[in-house]
Amino acid sequence: MNYRSAMKPAVVAAISGMLLACATTANVDYREDYDFSGIHYIRMMPPSRPGSNDTRINSPLVEERIHKSITDHLTASGFEFADSNADASLNWQLTTRSGLESYDSGFSFGLGTFRRHTAVGVGYGFPGYDVDSYDEGVLTIDILSTTDDTLLWRGSSSRRLVNGATPQTITTMVRELVNDVLANFPPRR
């Protein structure tokens, strides 16, 4: 086996690990005794208040993007929206939460080739800690019974908020959040 074919599995594993580290998983909870196959028509409720005072997410423009993303996702999944005679109601809320991230010293190792030459690199970050704070937008979507407003299903996911966002980056973030949460609806048994 030559050197290049031996490196391919390592490169694939490294890239896969980086992609998995970027992915988030939605938090989901639901009534296990409820038959979700009976839901065909959904009534969209106005978003829950209060959301957040953060102007990056507290905006009618962001609300429109969330509404459109939810509608697009559920319509593509075979659901229809109705104001009356709905099988379930959908309510959502967008909030913020703060987090801290710390970086400490580290060790890195690299291996590379160019034509017939091979090189090895080793790096070490000197001791010292750096702490950064960040904000996340948290989208929570609730599916409720239309008869008594009982919570049937709840999903939530988050993404980091950035300063200097553009309409395109906001739309992308909203679409990712909605798709991440609703990928788990209806629950599969």
Local structure of residue 188 (DSSP, 8 states)? P
Distance CA 149, CA 45 (A): 12
Residue with tokens 């962001």: 62
C-alpha span between 20 and 46 (Å, rounded): 34
Specify the 3-state DSSP secondary structure of 158: strand
Structure-model confidence comparison of residues 65 and 59, the more confident one:
65
To which residue do tokens 């048994």 refer? 189
pLDDT of residue 25: 81
pLDDT at 185: 93
124 pLDDT tier (thresholds 50, 70, 90): low
Q: Dump pLDDT digits (tens) for 7-21.
A: 444 444 444 444 434
**pLDDT by residue (tens digit) across 66-100?**
999 999 999 999 999 998 899 999 999 988 877 77
How high is the pLDDT of residue 19? 41
Which domains can be identified in the chain, with CATH numbers?
25-96+137-182 (3.30.160.670)
Q: Is 30:142 a contact under the CB 8 Å cutoff? A: no
Element (H, E) at 140: strand 130-145
Q: Is the pLDDT of residue 166 over 60?
A: yes
Q: Which two tokens stand for residue 136?
A: 């996340």
81 and 41 Cβ atoms separated by less than 8 Å? yes
